[in-house]
Chain A
């Protein structure tokens, strides 16, 4: 009795302590904040800004590809010397655009914007924690990302232009400033920026993992975690193990560039000069890069899949089908993601036997991916589906994931990849499966958790319009790209005048560009809706989607510490939707089985006995916050 009272007191003083934080003023609250919710919003808004910027770059190069003859003088006020005398984009600037577009989208939008936002926002709220394991490191993580963003952005304004060798920055092109102007200062800034980015994502990842392992509320076992959390967890593991390898690849490249080493350089003659470097291997870089690069595609995709699992189950009013299979397939994907990287290198001249091994491993990874798709579809079956904007984007994600994933089966076949590698077929493949699918996951997450983030509702009609324009638009842009790829058009080409049969696809390229411009423009609907709703949206109810997860038990405008009073305990999994016998079509995770005898399955009745045990953990849990 006494100890219990003591604890109430402890908690109280803890709350008071938290309260003091609030009084710290604007800067600590909104800028150098250690609150995971604020940091999540910082990531989200940074991500949205980057997304528009990266998208605008792609529109610029689509103009060149779709309208190769067009005069672009009207862009001179923005682009200055990058538009040459004849009113066309400079070919080097074209490559800079492609490179920056890829870098921004992959790292700044889909890695930081997606994981950064939703891991930060949802992990503490869904596992039942007051905040991240280390609020301070979490804050550092965002600010390292910010510095990284500033560096990358500033590289666009230097005279020699930003990095231009493709987002994969293969040396020697990226190592030799004499090979292209973008490999000068622009590349230095790129490498510097990525170094900060990697540090940021490592700090984020460590926090996510620690929080999920250590700060789950009482009763929240791993098998009761929502799939979002599983996805964020495995994503963080992927990042933690693979980003350091990219960092080492970048470091070696920095050495080669600045200190005369020969890790990647050998027997090079350029600009009338034979370089002294011998013994390096350009292929070594590719191995290191893709050791991150392939996991990276799942770092980007898994959170989106996690979000989708949550949104589809909630809005089908059905449990997610095959919860354990979903976890299993995500684990399988995580493990396999580390051993398929060389499928990006089938035609680099590496040992053909290695190619066979990687083909085998690559096609295995298609199996868990297929399982996930089937599980989503079955979740819809016999549901009672509510098409919220988040749900629409989730269904869109599943469709993109299938359509893009299937072509992976072709590319993963090394014999077929010979012809398709580095053509538009690859561009179509990864934009659907990774670009669009992850982007749709991001959007689903924003629409679904906006009420929790800002305490306001977004306008749903605008959401529907946004979805349909984006969904139709993305398919119109990327589906035809398969055809261009099958016709043998290489990627990263400024113009296809030297490609056989290029005239035949001039119209299709124009069509793709028009579709891209329209799709990009329609994102304005989202931007307006988002920023307008933050300020003027209707007040959000406690649990707008009638969802089971813990975040909806926290106050609508949750303060620092998330829950007022005790953190709720968890007694059941997150997917008790439309449970037979239950009067409501959802039973939140914090409702004990003893309160729902009418709907319990036999084995669940047995779990009632463990409820006391769970409740008994309250003390230990509170203590852990006061240590």
Chain B
């Protein structure tokens, strides 16, 4: 790719130098002229500038087309989510429309500039208005826009519709500068409530242990697993400042806002393994990046996303230990009447001492990649 740099810089330089040289030479000739018959806004460089317009059109078009071709292989690959396939298609159709408009209008602009450059005995055409033309070029863009709005609106409504009731729920919490993940647990499949005032070094989520739904919730700070082909509902929140969840391959983006939970649901269509095979990169991993500036570590605020086959996902979930199991101290926060229920998740001390868990903040080691 280095040659892009070389070539384009060369074009840039050559163009600049050429113009400097030519116009200098010509304007010298002209200055003499000027002294004879006063100031004229036209000078000898007019021709060159006109030629420059044409040259820019030609070289620019070639450059635009060529640079696109060169960059295309490095664009995001085909979307790995259901709605992403739709928006990608719409993106490239819209791109085709605007690329057409881009070339036509720019071509007319530069061509007219070149074609109607100043000539001593040409008189410009007095042509102040043409209602028919104006109506046409108001209505045509309006129709194109209307079509785009309509298709966009339909897709947007689908994407933002209520998540199906069978959706797998995962909670993502953004904080400076990493992501916290929480799953609703293997028993009740419900996320427990939280309160930001309960946050501490271990309970980074602020989970409320007077809510029995919290007891089986398990957590992670190193990666997020989701199943393929099943609707996944991300429940998104933030602890400190704004963050934004961006899954580029799945075309998912949603801000994380302190005090205002947000959500996004989608269906992944390719597992991590499948994408690895497709890209022929055995160590590839999907990333979740932060796209709302959040401070010093914003650029590094990423999380690995693992998309599993549904069976693998289930298996992985079953291997996870609830937060309460790995942090039995929190049993103390459970109200008396729920203690019995909660202690189900407390394992005898010797059992938990050697377990590698996926649930302790930051140090999880269980990975289910086959």
Contacts and interface: CB of A to CB of B under 8 A. Distances in A.
Contact of B252 (A269, A388, A418, A493): A418
B145 A364 contact: yes
Contact of B127 (A280, A319, A414): A319
Given A356-B157, A541-B38, A321 B128 contact: yes
Interface stretch (A74-82, A127-135, A218-226, A397-405): A397-405
B289 interface: yes
Interface string A550-587: 00000000000000000000000001011110000100
A12 to B, nearest CB: 33
Which residue, B108, B112, B119, has most C-beta atoms of chain A within 10 A? B112
Contact of A349 (B118, B252, B260): B260
26 contacts: A91-B297, A172-B242, A173-B294, A265-B259, A266-B260, A269-B239, A270-B239, A274-B199, A278-B259, A318-B125, A359-B153, A363-B145, A366-B145, A370-B138, A371-B141, A377-B108, A395-B113, A403-B102, A403-B106, A465-B20, A483-B74, A487-B71, A501-B76, A511-B9, A515-B9, A575-B128
Contacts of B116: 316, 380-385
A210 interface: no
B90 A499 contact: no
Contact of A578 (B123, B155, B259): B123
B137 A370 contact: yes
Contacts of A395: 53, 109-110, 113
A352 interface: yes
A179 B258 CA distance: 13
Interface residues on B, range: 35 or more
Contacts of B164: none
Contact of B118 (A265, A386, A398, A469): A386
B366 interface: no
Nearest to B48: A464
A349 B255 contact: yes
A514 interface: yes
B253 A421 contact: yes
Nearest to A274: B197
A486 interface: yes
B67 A385 contact: no
10 closest Cβ pairs, A-B complex: A266-B259, A349-B262, A352-B160, A488-B248, A387-B49, A504-B74, A498-B302, A413-B152, A382-B125, A578-B124
A519 to B, nearest CB: 9
B300 A498 contact: yes
Given A269-B239, A325-B134, A483-B68, A578 B125 contact: yes
B117 A385 contact: yes
A355 interface: yes
Given A406-B102, A498-B289, A419 B251 contact: yes
Interface stretch (B93-101, B327-335, B350-358): B93-101
B129 interface: yes
Given A282-B260, A500-B249, A180 B142 contact: no
B176 A179 contact: yes
Contact of A465 (B19, B98, B252): B19
B126 to A, nearest CB: 5
A425 to B, nearest CB: 10
Interface stretch (B39-47, B212-220, B339-347): B39-47
A384 to B, nearest CB: 4
Given A265-B259, A268-B258, A402 B105 contact: yes
Contacts of A399: 106, 109-110
Contacts of A416: 87, 90-91, 94, 152
Which residue, A165, A281, A348, A510, has most C-beta atoms of chain B within 10 A? A348
Contacts of A531: none
A60 interface: no
A97 to B, nearest CB: 13
A597 interface: no
B241 A381 contact: no
Given A349-B254, A468-B52, 19 more contacts: A348-B257, A352-B156, A355-B160, A363-B148, A366-B141, A374-B137, A378-B133, A383-B125, A384-B124, A385-B50, A387-B117, A395-B109, A457-B39, A461-B45, A468-B15, A494-B298, A495-B299, A500-B284, A510-B5
A363 B101 CA distance: 15
A150 to B, nearest CB: 27
A497 B301 CA distance: 11
Interface of A: 91-92, 95, 165-166, 170, 172-173, 176, 179-180, 265-270, 274, 278, 280-283, 315-325, 347-349, 352, 355-356, 359-360, 363-364, 366-367, 370-371, 373-378, 380-388, 392, 395, 398-399, 402-403, 406-407, 409-410, 413-416, 418-419, 421-423, 457, 460-461, 464-465, 468-469, 471-473, 475-476, 479-480, 483, 486-488, 490-501, 504-505, 507-508, 510-511, 514-515, 518, 522, 541, 544-546, 575, 577-580, 585
A266 B2 contact: no
A415 B27 contact: no
Contact of B287 (A325, A348, A356, A498): A498
A483 B68 CA distance: 8
A409 B98 contact: yes
B152 A415 contact: yes
B23 interface: yes
B56 interface: yes
Contacts of B229: none
Nearest to B249: A500
Given A281-B260, A579-B126, A363 B149 contact: yes
Given A409-B98, A418-B251, A498-B302, A464 B160 contact: no
A380 B91 contact: no
Contacts of A380: 109, 112-113, 116
Contacts of A378: 127, 133
B258 A282 contact: yes
A119 B339 CA distance: 73
B127 A382 contact: yes
A172 B133 CA distance: 50
B348 interface: no
A398 B113 CA distance: 12
B44 to A, nearest CB: 10
Contact of A176 (B102, B142, B241, B286): B241
B113 to A, nearest CB: 6
Contacts of B42: 386
Nearest to A170: B242
A511 B8 contact: yes
Nearest to A98: B293
A384 B246 contact: no
Interface in B59-103: 60, 64, 67-68, 71, 74-76, 84, 86-87, 90-91, 94-95, 97-98, 101-102
B122 interface: yes
A197 to B, nearest CB: 22
Nearest to A580: B126
A381 B298 contact: no
Contacts of A363: 145, 148-149
A418 B300 contact: no
A475 B108 CA distance: 18
